């Protein structure tokens, strides 16, 4: 099997181990992408190589999808075809004609931390909130609901799309919507920025601009160990 080891400052540590288990390490057209790190590394590898199955190997204490067994055992089970591939749906956000795709969440946040933003929220073309003042919103997938969304709401969910309000001046309860919902965040007073997951890129929103968020047609494919025996 051909695998690409996603490049990080630590990736050199795992290449010999991968090769020792009989995998061919390549730089293009892999069957799988090895993500050696934690949750952040896994998300970055999905952004760089979307849709290709990701094999998470642990090099961090925070790795939700890493197997509890050793990396050596994970590689051996994959070699023996004792694994399955689980799919996780993603989110699209469109703003200013640009589209970003996230595995965890889409964040609309105040650009200047010293100043709150004011914004309206519409779901499926129906305005549900107007003039909300705060740091912004987090829209999460079920997979992402155990991250930033959970830190805001002290909760998580397994079905649907989560909408959390970050430091609102008035109490705004989080909402779990159907996963086919379309959310529009319109900025009444900015500036704000939009970004997904842990990506460096962002889109700036000024007064009157909006970001539209919905389920993506793309999925992330993650190798799971111990499901097929």
- Over residues 43-100, the pLDDT tens digits come to 999 999 999 999 999 997 778 888 889 999 999 999 999 999 999 999 999 999 999 9
Catalytic residue among 31, 39, 173, 197: 39
**pTM higher than 0.85 for the full model?**
yes
Active-site residue 197, yes or no? no
pLDDT score, position 228: 41
Q: Name the pLDDT band for 170 (thresholds 50, 70, 90).
A: confident
Fold of 90-217: Tumour Suppressor Smad4 (2.60.200)
Position 227 confidence tier, pLDDT thresholds 50, 70, 90: very low
Q: How far is CA 189 from CA 101, 118, 132, 141, 208, in A?
A: 25, 5, 10, 27, 8
Show me where the domains of the chain are located: 2-81, 90-217
Choose among 192, 220, 216: nearest CA to 206: 192
Tell me the pLDDT band of 226, cut-offs 50, 70 and 90: low
For residues 49 and 54, what is the distance between their CA atoms, to the nearest angstrom? 9
pLDDT in tens, 11-27: 999 999 999 999 999 99
Among 52, 51, 58, which residue's Cα sits nearest to residue 75? 58
- Structure token digits, residue 151: 């830190």
Q: What gap in Å lies between CA 60 and CA 189, rounded to an integer? A: 39
Handedness of CA 151, 38, 10, 49 (dihedral sign): negative
Q: Which of 16, 125, 101 is nearest to 51 (CA)?
A: 101
Q: How far apart are the first and last CA of the chain?
A: 19
* Mean pLDDT of the residues in the chain: 94
Residues 141, 201: Cα–Cα separation, whole Å: 20
CATH, range 2-81: 3.40.50.10330
Residue (of 219, 148, 198, 149) closest to 41 by Cα position: 198
Helices 12-20 and 71-79: crossing angle in degrees, nearest 10, is 40
């Amino acid at each position: 099997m051909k695998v690409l080891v996603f490049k990080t400052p630590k990736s050199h540590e795992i290449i010999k181990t991968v090769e020792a288990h009989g995998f061919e390490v390549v730089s293009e057209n892999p069957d799988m992408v090895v993500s050696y790190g934690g949750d952040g590394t896994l998300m970055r590898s999905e952004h760089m190589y979307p849709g290709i199955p990701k094999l998470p190997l642990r090099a961090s204490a925070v790795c939700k999808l890493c197997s509890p067994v050793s990396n050596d055992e994970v590689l051996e089970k994959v070699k023996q075809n004792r694994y399955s591939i689980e799919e996780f749906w993603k989110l699209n956000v469109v703003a200013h004609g640009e589209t970003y795709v996230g595995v965890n969440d889409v964040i609309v946040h105040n650009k200047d931390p010293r100043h709150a933003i004011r914004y309206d929220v519409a779901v499926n073309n129906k305005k549900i909130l107007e003039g909300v003042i705060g740091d912004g919103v987090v829209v999460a997938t079920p997979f992402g609901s155990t991250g930033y969304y959970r830190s805001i709401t002290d909760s998580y969910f397994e079905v649907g799309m989560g909408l959390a309000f970050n430091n609102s001046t008035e109490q705004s309860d989080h909402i779990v919507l159907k996963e086919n919902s379309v959310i529009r965040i319109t900025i009444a007073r900015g500036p704000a920025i939009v970004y997904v997951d842990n990506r460096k890129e962002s889109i700036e929103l000024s007064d009157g601009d909006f970001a539209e968020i919905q389920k993506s047609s793309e999925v992330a494919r993650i190798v799971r160990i111990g499901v097929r025996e």
